[in-house]
Structure 1
């Protein structure tokens, strides 16, 4: 039995300019993984964007705010239903 995977329709356009050398490198790398240029660039750009978003974990707090933050982190969960909704939420890019 053959399963068909349906991709989302790409209806938004992103334009960019590159040098001949940059395009050649991208095309060569894409060919090594059996992808076309568009799929290769989008896959890599989205992956990098997700990593950058997920890496935003630096908090700068004064001592009082830091202690309040830690207290909240260590406190028992008050709203289990709300926590579950948060855990079930999908990132905007999915």
Structure 2
């Protein structure tokens, strides 16, 4: 039953061409990893894609910059977004370490 579920979940198809040398390297790496080529390529491509998407959504800043941003956002430019307030209720801003 699990195999049927996996087949149903994988309903979309991707296709691309590679050189014989690229295919050989991918096949060898997949075999060394104990995976078939499709699983090997998909798992690594998906991991990289997820990292790229995540890095486009998350910004990491230094402590001092975070404190300045917190001040700017919550003290200098406070605003309420009604739709978010309805959905989230009252949420305190993230605490920021003092300088």
- Is TM more than 0.5 here? yes
Q: Which of residues 61, 82, 91 in structure 1 aligns to 2:88?
A: 82
Give the whole-Å Cα distance in 2 for the aligned partners of 1:51 and 1:32.
24
1:23-49 deviation digits (Å, cap 9, x = unpaired): 001001100111001111110110000
TM-score (ref. length: structure 2)? 0.54
Give the 3 Å change call, closer, same or farther, for CA 20–51 of structure 1 in structure 2: same
Structure 2: unaligned runs, 5 residues or longer: 60-67, 79-83, 90-99
Give the 3 Å change call, closer, same or farther, for CA 22–82 of structure 1 in structure 2: same
Runs of 4+ with deviation above 2 angstroms: 4-9, 66-70
Structure 1: unaligned runs, 5 residues or longer: 59-65, 84-94
CA RMSD of aligned residues (A): 3.4
Higher RCO (C-alpha under 8 Å, 6+ residues apart): 2
Give the whole-Å Cα distance in 2 for the aligned partners of 1:32 and 1:69.
52
The residue number in structure 1 matching 2:55 is 55
Task: Name the structure where helix makes up a greater proportion of residues.
Answer: 2
Secondary structure in structure 2 of the residue aligned to 1:55 = helix
Give the whole-Å Cα distance in 2 for the aligned partners of 1:46 and 1:69.
37
How many residue pairs get aligned? The number is 70
Query: How far off its partner does 1:68 sit?
Result: 8.4
Give the 3 Å change call, closer, same or farther, for CA 39–71 of structure 1 in structure 2: same
